[in-house]
Amino acid sequence: MLTILLSAYACLPNRGSEEGNGWHYSTLLSQRGVRTHCITREEFREAIEPELATGLYPNLTVHYVGVPAWLDRAYGNLIGLYVHYIYWQWKAARVAKKLDQTQNFDLVHHVTYSSLQLGSFMYRLKKPFIFGPAGGGQRVPPVMKHYLGKYYSREVMRDAVSWLLQRVNPGFYRSMRQADYVLISNSDSLQLARTYRGNKPMELMLDSGIGADFLAPKPQERVPNPPVLNLLWVGRLLPRKALELTIHAFSRVNPDLPIRLTIVGGQGEMAEHVPTYLTKYNVADRVDWVGHVSYDEVLKYYKESDVFLFTSLRDSGPTQVTEAMANTMPVITLALHGQAEMVNGTNGIKVPIESSEQVLNDLAAAIERLYHNPAERLEMGRKAYEFAKRQVWDEKINLFTERLYPSLVNQTKLVGVV
C-alpha cells in the first residue's frame, strides 16, 4: 500500500472550490487503498473530525497546522492572505519532515492552493513530489477592467505581488525546478511554468472536478421549445466574476423573446450592487436573484435551467461550468483562461475578447442563437454532459493512482511533456 502526504491548505467537506478539492483528494485517495496523510489548517479540525469519525475513510489521517492569531486576523486582505499562506506552508513543511521520520512517505503531493506563484515547501522532504494541478497565469483583460470598478486596483496589486512572488518566494521557484511532475490547469499558466521549468515533465489538467452526485446517470432530456428559456448564473459575487457583465449583456437580448435569467449567489463584495445593476440595465422584470443557497440546493437550479452563463474575467478552472455541463447544459462564456479550455464550440459558445462592445453584442447574440436553434442547443447540452463525465472526481483520481503515483514511486521516467 502506498503511503502519501497531501499538502492541502484548503480542505473542507461539503464545499466547492479549493476547499472541496482538498477534501476530494484526501478522501477518495484513502478509499482507493492509498494510505493518505493530509496536512491542512487547524481551523478546519471542527468540520473534519466528525467526518473522520464516520469510519468511511479508514486510510486517512489528517494533521492540523495552525498559525499565530495575529496572522489569522490578517487573512482578510490580499497581502495578509499571501503571508498567511506562505507562513503556513513553511510550518507545514516542518511538520511534514517530522512525520516522514515515522511514516516514510512514498510520495508528496501538493493539491491546494492551486496557485503556481504561492508554491509549496514540500520539496524539502526530498521525496517524489507532484505539484498541482495549479494555475496562476490568468490576468483580467484590460479592455474589460471597468466591470471590476474600484476593485480593479486590487487586480493590479495582485498581478504585482504575483510577479514579486515569482522572484522571491522559494516555494515557487524551487517547486518549479525540483518537483518531479507539475500539473497545470490552463494554457495561460503553462506559459508561466515553462519560463521556470523548461522542458521538465508537465501536463495540462483542470484543477477542478465534480462529485458523482452532480452527474446524472444519463443526459437530461430537456424540452426543445420551452415556454421560457431559462438562463442560469451561479457563483460568489466577487468582482472578478463579473456578474455585471452578464446582466449588461442580457439587457441586449431582445426583450420580446421569452428568456429569463436566474442569478444564484449572495456572498461577496458585489452583492450590494446587484439591485443597482438590475435597475441600471432595465432588466429587473426578467431576472430572478435568489441569493445564497446551500451547495445541495444549487443542483435544483441546474436541473431547471436550459443554458449556463459564465463571464468571469479571471478563473483557473471553474467548477460551476463543469457542474452545469454535468446537468446537460450548454455554456456561454468568454474565450478566456480555464473556461476556454472547457468550452470548445461543440458543448457551448465562447466569445472572443476584442472590445467591450463586441463582447456584449456577441454574448447577447449567443443567447438568442440558442433560443432560435433548439436542436443545436440540445446537442451542445449532450456534448457538455460527455465532457463532464471525464471530470468526475473518481475519474481524476484514477489518473493519480493508476499512472502518476506508480510512475514516480518506481522512478520511471515520465514522458508526454506538453
State the Cα torsion 263-356-346-184 to the nearest 10°: -90
- Report all structural domains of the chain as residue ranges with CATH numbers, in order of start: 3-209+392-409 (3.40.50.2000), 212-389 (3.40.50.2000)
Residue 416: its pLDDT value, please?
40
| pLDDT score at 239 | 95
pLDDT per position as a tens digit, 151-210: 999 899 989 988 888 889 899 989 999 999 999 999 889 988 998 898 888 999 998 888
pLDDT reported for residue 415: 39
CA atoms of 356 and 145, how far apart (whole Å): 9
How many CB atoms are closer than 10 A to CB 49? 11
Cβ-based burial of 163 (10 A; exposed 0-12, middle 13-18, buried ≥19): exposed
Residue-by-residue pLDDT tens, the chain, 418 positions: 899 999 999 999 988 788 989 999 999 999 999 999 999 999 999 999 999 999 999 999 999 999 998 888 878 777 888 899 999 999 999 999 999 999 999 999 999 998 999 999 999 999 999 999 999 889 999 999 999 999 999 899 989 988 888 889 899 989 999 999 999 999 889 988 998 898 888 999 998 888 887 788 889 899 999 999 999 999 999 999 999 999 999 999 999 999 999 999 988 999 999 999 999 999 999 999 999 998 778 889 999 999 999 999 999 888 899 999 999 999 999 999 999 999 999 999 999 999 999 999 999 999 999 999 999 999 999 999 999 999 999 988 999 999 999 989 986 444 343 4
- Distance between CA 323 and CA 309 in Å, rounded? 12
* Selection from 358, 263, 357, 346 nearest residue 309 by Cα: 263
Whole-angstrom distance, CA of residue 330 vs CA of residue 376: 10
Q: Quick one: which of 132, 123, 114, 109 has its CA closest to 2?
A: 109
Q: What is the reported pLDDT for 77?
A: 78
CA 192 to chain centre: 18
Full-prediction pTM beyond 0.75?
yes
Residue 112 has a pLDDT of: 93
**In what helix (H) or strand (E) does residue 234 lie, and over which residues does it extend?**
strand 229-234
Residue 207 pLDDT: 87
DSSP for 377-396 reads HHHHHHHHHHHHHTTBHHHH
Q: What pLDDT score does 54 carry? A: 95
pLDDT of residue 411: 62
Distance, CA of 113 to CA of 10 (rounded, Å): 6
Q: Report the amino acid identity of residue 242.
A: A
pLDDT at 319: 87
Written as one letter, the residue type at 183 is L
Q: In the prediction, which pLDDT does 216 show?
A: 81
- pLDDT of the residue at 307: 98
